[in-house]
Amino acid sequence: MVISEKKPMEEVIGFLKDAEKIILVGCNQCAATCKSGGEEELVKMKESLEAEGKQVLGYTILDPACNLLKSKKDLKALKNELKEADAILSLACGDGTQTIVKNTKNMPVYPANNTLFIGEVERVGQFEEACKACGACELGWTGGICPITMCAKGLLNGACGGAKNGKCEVSQENDCAWIKIYDRLKALDQLENLTEIRPPKDYSLQTNPRRYDVKKKEADATANA
C-alpha cells in the first residue's frame, strides 16, 4: 500500500491562502488506513479550515482516489459544489491527488498529505517500507528480502563491510540488509546465490513517468506465441 502522512497545517493553509470555498476529497483505502485521509480525517480538516475562516462546501471519500474513471464518476456527486468552489484539498496520496487533478479541469487541487513510500502494514498504525518499484524485482535470488529497499546503499553484490553488530552504518536503527539476506539464504540452503556477480541495476526501467497496459501486453504475448 501507499503510505502517507498529514502535512503541517500551516503548509496547507498556505496553499489555500487565496481560496475561501473548499472541497475536501479523501481516499477510503491507503490514506484511510494511514489515518491521513479517511472520514475521521476529513471531518477534522473541515473543522480546522472553518476555524481559519474557510467555507467547506462539501467532501467525499473516493474508493480509491487513484482509479481515474471511478473517481471521475464519484466526483460528479459534487458537481454543484465544484462549480462554486475555489479549490480542492486532497487528503489522498500523491497518486490520488494527481488523479483528482485530471478529473477537475480549471480547478486548483492542493495536497494535504506527504506521500512517503510503498510499504506493508506491520500492525495497526505501524508501516514499513517494502518496495521501491524498481521495475526488475530481485527477490527471487535474495531469499525474498529486497536489497534495493532494505539496503541503504541499494547494493546488489553483498554487504559494504560497514555494518557493526548487525546494524547498517548509514542508519544504526536498521538491520544490515545483506546480513539478513545471508541468514535467510543460509536457512534456505541457497547460499550459492551469493557467488554470482550481479550486473548493475538497469535504471532505464525506472524512467519516469512509467505506463503499463495489460491489454497491450497480452496482445503482444499472443502475437509472439
Residue 121, domain member (yes or no): no
Over the stretch 103-124, which tens digit does the pLDDT of each residue have? 998 899 999 999 999 999 999 8
pLDDT value of position 43: 97
Q: Number of C-alpha atoms within 13 angstroms, CB side, residue 47? A: 6
Distance (Å, rounded) from C-alpha 147 to C-alpha 118? 15
Of 116, 146, 174, the position where a domain reaches its end is: 116
Residue 169, domain member (yes or no): yes
The pLDDT mean for the chain works out to 94
Q: What is the span of the domain harbouring residue 28?
A: 2-116
SS (H, E, C) 58-101: EEEEECCCCCHHHHHHHHHHHHHHHHHCCEEEECCCHHHHHHHH
What are all long-range contacts of 206-212, with beta carbons under 8 Å and residues at least 24 apart?
206/133, 206/134, 206/135, 210/135
Residue 209, domain member (yes or no): yes
Q: Please, are residues 12 and 112 in contact by the beta-carbon 8 Å criterion?
A: yes
In this structure, the answer to whether residues 71 and 157 fall within a common structural domain is: no
Q: What total of structural domains would you count in the chain?
A: 2
pLDDT value of position 222: 86
Neighbours of 222 (CB within 10 A): 8
Of 86, 116, 146, the position where a domain reaches its end is: 116
The pTM score is: 0.87
- Percent of the chain's residues with pLDDT above 90: 86
